[in-house]
Amino acid sequence: MTSSSPSGQGADYAATASEAYRAALRVIESVEPRVAEATRKELADQRGSLKLIASENYASPAVLLTMGTWFSDKYAEGTVGHRFYAACQNVDTVEALAAEHARELFGAPYAYAQPHSGIDANLVAYWAILATRIETPGLAELGAKHVNDLSEADWEKLRAKLGNQRLLGMSLDTGGHLTHGFRPNISGKMFHQRQYGTDPATGFIDYDAVAAAAREFKPLVLVAGYSAYPRRVNFAKMREIADEVGATLMVDMAHFAGLVAGKVFTGDEDPVPHAHITTTTTHKSLRGPRGGLVLATEEYAPAVDKGCPMVLGGPLSHVMAAKAVALAEARRPEFREYAQSVADNAQALADGFIKRDGSLVTGGTDNHLVLLDVTSFGLTGRQAESALLDSGIVTNRNAIPADPNGAWYTSGIRFGSPALTTRGFGADDFDRVAELVVEVLSNTQPAAGPNGPSKAKYTLADGTAERVRAAAAELLDANPLYPGLTL
């Protein structure tokens, strides 16, 4: 990988990693050769495509290799030093290291490294808020001093009380996540929920409107953060709103955690000093293994620490070990350079679309993602996503505010800069990527299905896919993925 990546240690590192992977694949091949072949093909596919999915990245060989160890074989329910299984002393070591690196990296009083994913991290956070804010008063109302004193009838009353609490989060079509109170998601079932959106004219968060909604709704939990909002958030203002109505501020920074870790987002734009609880994934812009983290103030730490068994099953010890490695990488000075390049490259991509008459939600970006409205090309998001994939450009369709095509077909494409930045792409490369995207979309036409107009079918002008793939190959060859790694 490039000098901007955590694995840019040079030829010796690449040679050692190559030896490790070749040996591992031979062992796998001796049992199930089809898995070994699929693994080799996945690397080839990733090397040969422009990965622009905002939620994906490339982990270092050190992180990837850490997951393939004997830690996978351990059960370790409980917490560091307090396990329900014997012989967990080494799990204690790696979990403690992951939490230590997370605390130091983000400046958080407390870190919990056990969540298996971002959704799990959010569930831990929600239940920790409920346990801290609701359970203790509920016990007092029932005349109990401890949860063990409760009868089944008492528990039923508490469950009813917990289930009627209120959550205010960002709506899905304006950039929020499923777990921010979307009705079909468990977060929309646990809580009586409402959602705030963005200014219809600008696409930006209207903090006065959020404050008005909070005053009227009086939520227990105010959720900030996003998965498809291409702007920064003023978390100091969100905390002011939460404090005014007595809400707990929970921030989901899964998408932009790398920009927080890399000090691109500081002050009012850094959620950790302002939120009561902050959740994140460890992949995406953090460039680690697939998993989650919860950061919290001391007030919420005891409840978060009960994530297993409250919400989680046994922690994935091999992934916690990989989190420790990835977070150690993120504490290096070169990660800050990488994070700044992620933001700079997203800006270059947005500028590239704008100068080619692309229509962007909010008119641009100041984080790691760009949201392109493809209706100006006469396409749905699904048609655009498929045509781009045919041309070697990997993206994902995404809803835009007030999307006429709904959440399945959509009217937008979401682009992210983290993965190609890891490969070493710079601003000029991202401008060229924008040019290639526009070329594909300009040469794509909707096609009719058997029963009339289709939101999925399309035709791509002859030669377009081949021409764009060849141009993309030039960019990819100049910025190889895992350079020096040979299988």
SS3 letters across the chain: CCCCCCCCCCHHHHHHHHHHHHHHHHHHHCCCHHHHHHHHHHHHHHHCCEECCCCCCCCCHHHHHHCCCHHHHCCCCEECCEECCCCCHHHHHHHHHHHHHHHHHHCCCEEECCCCCHHHHHHHHHHHHHHHHHHHHHHHHCCCCCHHHCCHHHHHHHHHHHHCCEEEEECHHHCCCHHHCCCCCHHHHHCEEEEECCCCCCCCCCHHHHHHHHHHHCCCEEEEECCCCCCCCCHHHHHHHHHHHCCEEEEECCCCHHHHHCCCCCHHHCCCCCCCEEEEECCHHHCCCCCEEEEECCCCHHHHCCHHHHCCCCCCHHHHHHHHHHHHHHCCHHHHHHHHHHHHHHHHHHHHHHCCCCEEHHHCCCCCEEEEEHHHHCCCHHHHHHHHHHCCEECEEECCCCCCCHHHHCCEEEEECHHHHHHCCCHHHHHHHHHHHHHHHHCEEEEEECCEEEEEEEEECCCHHHHHHHHHHHHHHHCCCCCCCCC
Q: 390 an active-site residue?
A: no
C-alpha 259/C-alpha 421 separation (Å) is: 13
Q: Which of 74, 290, 306, 467 is catalytic?
A: 290
Q: 77 an active-site residue?
A: yes
| Cβ 411 vs Cβ 381: under 8 Å | yes
C-alpha 470/C-alpha 473 separation (Å) is: 5
Q: Which of 29, 56, 77, 199 is catalytic?
A: 77
Q: Which of 51, 83, 239, 284 is catalytic?
A: 284
Q: 252 an active-site residue?
A: yes
Q: 290 an active-site residue?
A: yes
Q: Which of 198, 281, 362, 365 is catalytic?
A: 281
Q: Which of 13, 75, 232, 373 is catalytic?
A: 75
C-alpha 72/C-alpha 409 separation (Å) is: 39
C-alpha 71/C-alpha 438 separation (Å) is: 46
C-alpha 272/C-alpha 256 separation (Å) is: 12
Q: 21 an active-site residue?
A: no
C-alpha 180/C-alpha 465 separation (Å) is: 38
Q: Which of 95, 120, 173, 252 is catalytic?
A: 252
C-alpha 29/C-alpha 23 separation (Å) is: 10
Q: Which residues does the annotation mark as catalytic? A: 75, 77, 252, 281, 284, 290
